[in-house]
Chains A and B, each alone.
Chain A
Amino acid sequence: MTALTSDKVRKKYKNSNGVYWPYMVPGLIAFTLIVIVSFVWNIYLSFTKWNGLGAPKWIGFDNYAKLMVDETFWQSFLHSVVFIFAMAIVPTALGLIIASALFDYVSPRFGNATSAASRAGFFLPQIIPIPIAGLLWTWMLSSQTGIVNKVLTDWGHPEWAQNWLGDAKWAMFSVTIVLIWIQVGYTIVIFMSGLARADQSVHEAAAIDGATWFQRFRIITLNQLAPEIAVVLLTTTVAALKVFAPVYVMTQGGPGTATTVPAYYSYFNFIQTSKVGYGAAISTVLAILLIVMSLVIFRYQNKQGENR
């Protein structure tokens, strides 16, 4: 092709560019209104003192200064760290073990149906809306009528029965267990699909050479699943930082502030106590943290894309 024609093509292409702009106008306007305006507005509110009535009063960085010394705020992030453990670390570890056991141990010996059925069982909590999962577990963990205490009592250990969600000593632990229950199915499904992608001949060769299942898991499986592990850890960590509904439904952040997380603390200030500026400051901190994390994910995924 001569320079002239390729120039022509490029020019034509450039012209056609303008033709396509109108298609994204509705999307961009809506996005600007709903996301950008709201987010900027929220940041503005975080610099004000306001109870939702009258005009917001500009107070500069006062809310943020207050956050720095607010024990509940720091405590709420500490709870987020526990939830990262419950939603990211534990499900990733359990998911790896269960997925590879189902995929290359159970499946070849007992058939795909067995492993698919087990996978479906673990996955079931994932399809339940979180408020309903919360309702279900509130019922099971109820101190008076709950199943958990009933079972413990029937087994001859009435002293083990607790007020699982109402006792500050146990509330975090109980919510953690529920989150693990919800989250494991997600990691299993992703890791099993990753294993299906991976090259099985390495496994077979290693097995013929006498490697045990655990050796193969440690050396081959973990390496093959490295990209999935990274994506799962990052996305579930983001999800853990966003936790709101489970806490709202099961404990309302309590008892006291025993299970308060940043999202709930922000909601609490916004709605329950009408400290709009303070709630906005908490949510802005959380949003910035999450945006930084999503940029890390974005970069990582682009790198993965280039490497492939």
Chain B
Amino acid sequence: MSTAIMVENTLNPESRKAQKVSKKGKGGFNKRTPVSWLVVAFMIASALAWISPLYLAFVNSVKTPEEYTTTGPLTLPSQISFEGILHFWEKADFSLKLWNSFQISFWVAILGVALSFFTAYAIGIGRVRGRFWILGLFLVAFTIPGEALMYPLLRMAKMVGLYDNIWALIIIFAVLQSAFGTYLVSSVMSDFPMELLEAARIDGAGSWRLLKDIVFPLVRPTLTVLMVFFFIWTWNEFLLPLVMLPSNDSQTVALSMGLASGQYTSDPTTQAAAALVGILPTLLFFLIFQRTLLKGVTMGSVK
């Protein structure tokens, strides 16, 4: 599958570049000309422009509202004030939102990966009949827009008493994301050396032991990557939380941010603070899982 191949390539984009540089050395066409200085200056300036909204959110979230009104959003704050941040944190009950988001994302990561792993085992190793169609169905399911499932899911959640309950979302996201996870894990599994599996079978290993002792250790890295993705995808979800979690106490970070957008228009420093504290957790994940995430951008392109 080309996705798998692309994932493979993203693993190491720098190494070949490094080779290339060393091969060419100083001479030839890679000299630093005035034009090349212009190009690099332009690139860096553009990249800085790209991150400037974040910088501005940061600068203004620690300003007092009075200073924002008098000197505007572009100047640095004359004194650091956490008023905006604290105001938003309290008003939005942000600690609770963080905890809700964390719980949902955590359980989706665990359950979604477990579902992906078992289903993929039957498909990739067990090669059950009809596997091609099942995978095709899963892949197609992944492109169905949430709007086309949302209302029936809402009714179902109400029927079983999980309306306004984070477990409704945990179950739904675990299943939806495992459709993609199954596709990915089974494609990794079908590349396994058959001799190894055959040898274990001849040694009398049953399907459970095969799964536990041979297959699981081999796919564990993939499963870890998948967990990170499921966690972050769930963290960022908006539509289904919007529909399924009406009450303030069960809302997620992303949802409360989306709803906050119209709330603080007359209070720009609080709005900047909201954007900032909303970004911080994701920034933290990114710094922790940077490699995994960049590796998987192409993988996620199926989404």
Contact = CB atoms under 8 A, between A and B. Distances in A.
A270 interface: yes
For the side of the interface on B, what is the size category?
Answer: 35 or more
Interface string B104-147: 00000000000110110111011111000010111111111111
B54 interface: yes
Given A135-B257, A196-B9, A271-B243, 6 more contacts: A118-B44, A132-B254, A132-B275, A139-B275, A207-B28, A248-B242
Contacts of B142: 294
A273 B139 CA distance: 32
B204 to A, nearest CB: 12
Given A103-B17, A291-B140, A136 B275 contact: yes
Contacts of B265: 138, 142, 144-145
Given A108-B24, A196-B17, A291-B140, A135 B274 contact: yes
A244 B239 CA distance: 8
B286 A127 contact: yes
Contacts of B303: 235, 239
A21 B130 CA distance: 11
Given A20-B126, A231-B2, A129 B140 contact: no
A132 B257 contact: yes
Nearest to A304: B2
Contacts of A190: 6, 297-298, 301
Nearest to A46: B148
20 contacts: A26-B119, A27-B119, A28-B134, A31-B179, A39-B152, A105-B39, A107-B21, A122-B46, A132-B254, A134-B261, A139-B272, A146-B73, A147-B74, A154-B72, A189-B297, A196-B16, A228-B6, A235-B303, A301-B1, A304-B2
Interface residues of A, number: 124
Contact of B301 (A31, A118, A232): A232
Contacts of A34: 149, 153, 171-172, 175-176
B81 interface: no
B10 A193 contact: yes
Contacts of A297: 302
A101 B39 contact: yes
B145 A294 contact: no
Given A20-B128, A232-B301, A28 B119 contact: yes
Interface string B45-75: 0111011011011000000000011001110
B16 A290 contact: no
A192 B10 CA distance: 9
Contacts of A305: 1-2, 5
B53 A263 contact: no
A186 interface: yes
Interface string B1-24: 111011001101111111011001
The 3 closest A-B pairs by CB, nearest first: A20-B126, A121-B47, A131-B258
Contact of A114 (B44, B150, B182): B44
Contacts of A185: 50
Nearest to A199: B16
